[in-house]
Amino acid sequence: MSEYRAHFDFDMRFANGGGLSGTGFRLDLPSADATEDEIARLLVAHLGLALVDEVDLRGLRIVEEPHRGSRGVEVPTSTDAATRVVDLSHPIRAGLVTYPGLPAPTITPHLTREDSRARYAPGTEFAMDVIHMIGNTGTYLDSPFHRYADGADLAGLDLSTLVGLRAEVFHLEDAWDASRRGIRPQTLADRDVRGAAVLLHTGWDRWFGQPEYGTGAPFLTGEAAQWLIDAGAVLVGIDSVNIDDADPSTGSGGGERPAHSLLLGAGVHVVEHLTNLGQLPPRGARFTAAPPAVEGFGTFPVRAFAELPA
């Protein structure tokens, strides 16, 4: 289904005095035939303003473009019980470099199919393999134990905080640049994220497995992490190399990890190295990322996925 957005400048006046202006504004639309008055009302709803008297739109253009989650635009839902599943995980393979500097996984046979033929009935064979890898491989989840010695490990996580979460997807791939890589609270403040999985779509997954992946990546600022905690988010995921600024070339990628420290300290799960977030709508998906219940372990790969109405 095609999605449409309005591009415009605006001037707004309030009934009790004062005004507000904006340039280069973009707003999700329910359809391509939305009128100027309807777009003005959507703008007011998106900004959450009261006592608006008049809204003048200038240079209005309606273009076919994916929605970004503007408040006031309803997400279509299906009455059909069927669902579509979107895989949000990177495949794991021998030699995969997930995080620069960490070891790649190795996969070796424990029992080959050829050797198994001597153990089983004719025509019956099995393969059993051993994988040796660090927990920070592929798309993985950080539990509080990853950061804090007394935090919950993978076996101590509540499955209800990992399965079927309402997903609030922030499409930010065109909302930052190399000079301002940090995602700030203001970028997230127009959504109700209480009880939700907040998924940050930056588009950085296009570099996964390549040298470019480790430098110049977008990240979540400490202030934004605290805002998400205060707003009641249950899980935060990103399609970048790290939820913190870990780039050693910028001078800010030292030992401090404010987003990890704040989120995991508050019991908010972190999922890193997601992919395919561009296939999700801003709202309406259900997100799952459950690791195995490993005692005394803080980080492990997940098969992260989203469910959508078919």
Per-residue pLDDT reduced to its tens digit, 155-200: 999 999 999 999 999 999 876 666 779 999 988 988 899 999 999 9
Does any domain span residue 75? Answer: no
Asked if 302 contacts 188 with a C-beta cutoff of 8 angstroms, the reply is no
Band the pLDDT of 75: cuts 50, 70, 90.
low
Does any domain span residue 89? Answer: no
192 and 295 in a single domain? The answer is: yes
Q: Which segments of the chain does DSSP mark as H helices, in order?
A: 36-47, 113-116, 185-188, 222-231, 258-265
If one counts every other C-beta atom within 10 angstroms of the C-beta of residue 141, the result is: 24
196 and 286 in a single domain? The answer is: yes
Strands 197-201, 165-171: parallel, antiparallel or unpaired by DSSP?
parallel
Closest CA to 168 of 7, 306, 27, 272: 306
Residue 181, token pair as written in the block: 């890589």
d(CA 119, CA 116): 5
295 and 189 in a single domain? The answer is: yes
- Taken as a whole, the chain contains a residue count of 310
Q: Which domain holds residue 222?
A: 140-309
Question: 98-112, 141-155, 184-198, 269-283: which range is least confident on average?
Answer: 184-198
Residue 116, token pair as written in the block: 């198994």
Burial 85-103 (b: 16+ CB within 10 A, else e): ebebbbebeeeebbbeeee
Asked if 76 contacts 283 with a C-beta cutoff of 8 angstroms, the reply is no
166 and 274 in a single domain? The answer is: yes
Question: 26-40, 153-167, 252-266: which range is least confident on average?
Answer: 252-266
Pick the last residue of a domain from 15, 30, 64: 64
The amino acid at 16: N
Collapse the DSSP code of 144 into the 3-class scheme (helix H, G, I; strand E, B; otherwise coil) and give the result.
Answer: helix
155 and 293 in a single domain? The answer is: yes
Closest CA to 57 of 71, 37, 76, 73: 37
Q: Angle 82-87-89 (CA atoms, 0-180°, nearest 5)? A: 160
